[in-house]
Every structure is written in structure tokens, then in C-alpha cells.
Amino acid sequence: MPTRNVVLTEQQETFVGELVETGRYQNASEVLREGLRLLTDQIQRRNAELADIQAGVIVGFDQLERGEFAKGTGEEAIERAFKHAVEKRGS
């Protein structure tokens, strides 16, 4: 496995040390690998969310080109879209 030298702040070093001392992790490398796994998951989720938004925008433009308009004001349509996105994210 490749090794890296990493510079941590005192606060970060204390936090890593506490996690190891409690027995949750065997060593600092495990703590840092877990942090990288979490960051990877976060980035993948964000990329998926952005892809969903992009797909929604494309669908919206296609509907607009076909003359399909949302009912109500623009503000109401945006509120419905955000509500739908929040509901979708919660499921």
C-alpha cells in the first residue's frame, strides 16, 4: 500500500488520537481511510444530485419547446419543483 505524509492541525491530530484511544479505530491510518471513504461517498452523492438537476433542466427545456407550460406564476412553478426535489431526496 502506498504511504503518504500528511500534515494535520493540532485539532485534527487530537481528534484522530481520540478516535484511536476509544478503540473505534486501531490506528490513524484507519481514521484517515474512513474519512476518505466518507468524502468519496459525499462527492458521489453530490454528482448524482447534479446529474438529476441537469436531467430535470433538460426535460424542462424540452417541455418548453413543445409549448408545455407550468400552471400558475413562475414563482409557484419553482416552489413546486423544489418541493418535488426535496420529496424525491427524502425517499
* Confidence band of 76 (pLDDT split at 50, 70, 90): confident
> What average pLDDT does this structure show over 27-32?
97
Distances (CA, A) of 52 to 10, 61, 78: 39, 14, 16
> What average pLDDT does this structure show over 2-18?
95
Residue 23 has pLDDT above 80, yes or no: yes
Residue 83 has pLDDT above 80, yes or no: yes
Work out the number of other CB atoms within 10 angstroms of the CB of residue 32: 16
- Listed residue (37, 39, 42, 31) closest to 6, CA to CA: 31
CA–CA separation, 91 and 79 (whole Å) = 19
pTM score of the predicted model:
0.65
Structural domain spans, the chain: 10-90
Cβ atoms of residues 35 and 16 within 8 Å = no
